[in-house]
Amino acid sequence: MMRIAAATLLAASISGCGMANDFLRGKDNAEPPAPLTIFQSSVQVQTVWSARVGSGSDDEYFKLIPNVANGKVFAADRKGRVSAYDVTTGRSLWSMETKAPISGGPGSGDGVVLVGTSDGEVLALEESSGALRWRVRVSSEVLSAPAVKHDVVVVRTVDGKLQGLDVREGKRLWTHDSSVPALTLRSTSAPVIVDDKVLGGFASGRLVALSISDGRVLWDTVIAEPRGRSELERLVDISSEPRVIDKTVYVSSYQGRIAALDVESGRLIWARDMSSYAGLSVDDRAVYITDDKGQVFSLDRRDGRALWKQDKLRARAVTAPAIYNDYVVVGDFEGYLHWMARDDGGFVARVRVDDSGIITPPATVANMLYVYGKGGVLAAI
């Protein structure tokens, strides 16, 4: 298991939450980052457009993942700028300076763009213009993108709460509370809305489905159980977003398991031991996941059986995989995008996007891949 600086562990224990940024970047690993593999590129990667979104994550570990919807790409920087770009041309459509310390988002839907802050606020901006619709305080810091559907904004906060807010004015509709262990990862799982359900992963290793209308618990399933004597050994956070396809939800946990569940009942379909804080993607054939060592796996989504493993990216702080046509794409701490064949995991291309590094998974829509670097570079590839 990768080690964490003692000073950071102490700070995390005192505050009740946190994880060493350098640990997650790969800078404090016992294992040095793997050198870049030499290979013959067989795929031509073209940058269609790029833009500068303020200061990016401002040299901090905030996963400000770009959001693509309705012909626009939405991106936010740590210092409070939220911007919208045309998906095809990269033309700037609007940019709003909120002056808020943005730590989660953006999310979008129902005519709004949503971000959360380190100060425990959620801001809703008009999707068409960026104008502020409302700004409300929630229970604590927001580290993941808010979700919205059926006129309800769902926000996950670091104190273990999922909260439903009215999309029109931000009024609180309901709250679901989950216990928080003494030590957690410095990230939270973004809520996912499927039909009339909200799926939320928690630091306790549980995945919960709630009714979006009133926050009522529909099912509650244990994905991973804490084990070991120390708080560090007992970390089992679900820190990445669950993925849903064909009525099956796929979810991973740190020092726990990857699992497939029936989205209607929460019934476990299969599970296998695997540790991941980066997350996963899924298509009609397989689940693609980055484990805590930086290895990328392809698993049969029917039973979790391993199809291939790419181990040449160990300790490079690799992002969750994105699926782009016949390829699987991940970013790393040096700002490279690594393209792998979906059939066998072999490298087919590599391109550097942002020298400051990439900590958020790329987003794919139609025939375009959007990636946002820590230094604020947003690129369409």
Edge-to-edge order in the sheet of strand 147-149 = 147-149, 152-156, 161-166, 172-177
List Cβ<8 Å contacts ≥24 apart for 176-181.
176/200, 176/208, 176/210, 176/215, 176/217, 178/202, 178/203, 178/204, 178/206, 178/208, 179/204, 180/16, 180/17, 180/204, 181/226, 181/231, 181/234, 181/235
Query: Are the beta carbons of 263 and 294 closer than 8 angstroms?
Result: no
pLDDT at residue 358 in the model: 95
Tokens of 235: 């970390």
pLDDT at residue 187 in the model: 82
Tell me which residue of 211, 292, 277, 288 sits closest to 243, measured CA to CA.
288
Q: Per residue of the chain (381 residues), what is the pLDDT tens digit?
A: 332 332 233 233 323 333 344 444 445 556 899 999 999 999 999 999 999 998 777 667 788 999 999 999 999 999 999 999 999 999 999 999 999 999 999 999 999 999 999 999 999 999 999 999 999 999 999 999 999 999 999 999 999 999 999 999 999 999 999 888 777 887 889 999 999 999 999 999 999 999 999 999 999 999 988 887 888 888 889 989 999 999 999 999 999 999 999 999 999 999 999 999 999 999 999 999 999 999 999 999 999 999 999 999 999 999 999 999 999 999 999 999 999 999 999 999 999 999 999 999 999 988 899 999 999 999 999
- Cα separation of 42 and 32, whole Å? 28
- Cα separation of 319 and 166, whole Å? 32
Tokens of 66: 């770009």
- Cα separation of 275 and 292, whole Å? 6
pLDDT at residue 59 in the model: 67
- Cα separation of 109 and 149, whole Å? 7
- Cα separation of 342 and 308, whole Å? 9
Edge-to-edge order in the sheet of strand 256-262 = 243-245, 248-252, 256-262, 268-274
- Check whether the bond before 106 is cis (ω within 30° of 0): yes
Query: Are the beta carbons of 26 and 317 closer than 8 angstroms?
Result: yes
Contacts of 307 by beta carbon, 8 Å cutoff, 6+ apart: 286, 297, 298, 299, 300
Cα 374 to chain center, whole Å?
14
pLDDT, tens digit, 9 for 90 and up, residues 67-112:
999 999 999 999 999 999 999 999 999 999 999 999 999 999 999 9
**Average pLDDT score, the chain:** 90
pLDDT at residue 227 in the model: 84
pLDDT, tens digit, 9 for 90 and up, residues 114-137:
999 999 999 999 999 999 999 999
Tokens of 244: 């849903």
